[in-house]
Every structure is written in C-alpha cells, then in structure tokens.
Structure 1
C-alpha cells in the first residue's frame, strides 16, 4: 500500500510540475497603446481641401 501512495504522489508531483510550467507565470503585460489601432474614418477628399474661403469675396464683391 505504501508503494501505491508513492506512485500516486509521484504522478501528482509530475502533474503539478506540468501545470506550473503551463500556468505558473502570468503573460507579459500589454500596454494600452498597443491595443488600439488608429485609422481615419474616411479617405481624405482632395476636393474638400481645395476650397478657398477668400474666393467668394473675389467673385461676388469685386
């Protein structure tokens, strides 16, 4: 009977070692900056930036 308990203890010790190797340490921390991806919501429109705010004054006031 003593021999069976030693074999069981050895198996439990081996299982504990496997469990410790797999779950013994926490994963490395992930910075918040690395979890966010920034992309523009829409593609830039070149026609939108082509507006000259002073153009209407030249067309209508002169």
Structure 2
C-alpha cells in the first residue's frame, strides 16, 4: 500500500522551518506520543525515509 500526503512548510521564528506529520501517516505508521522519528534523506534522489523508533526501544 502506498500513502501520499502533502504538507506545507512554515517558519517558527528563529527555530527554522517546520512541517507536521499528517494524521493519515501517523495512524498508518502507528506513531504515538513518546515515539521518535528517524529521518534519512538521500540528497541525490531527494528521497526521504522515515523510521519510527518506538518509545519502548523496539523498531518498526
């Protein structure tokens, strides 16, 4: 299954630019409070891989 969501990037003052993880993606990935996200960007292809690191230290 492929899910696609488009989000806007916004500025948060001097902290830099931000975007949010859409609820469709959060639900599909089972992201919960306390989990961490590992972001892996391939700059040659502009492909971004997001890995969920569960709060209980197990990976998905």
More helix by share: 1
What TM-score comes out, normalization by structure 1 length? Answer: 0.18
What TM-score comes out, normalization by structure 2 length? Answer: 0.19
Q: Based on CA coordinates, which of the two structures has the bigger radius of gyration?
A: 1
More strand by share: 2
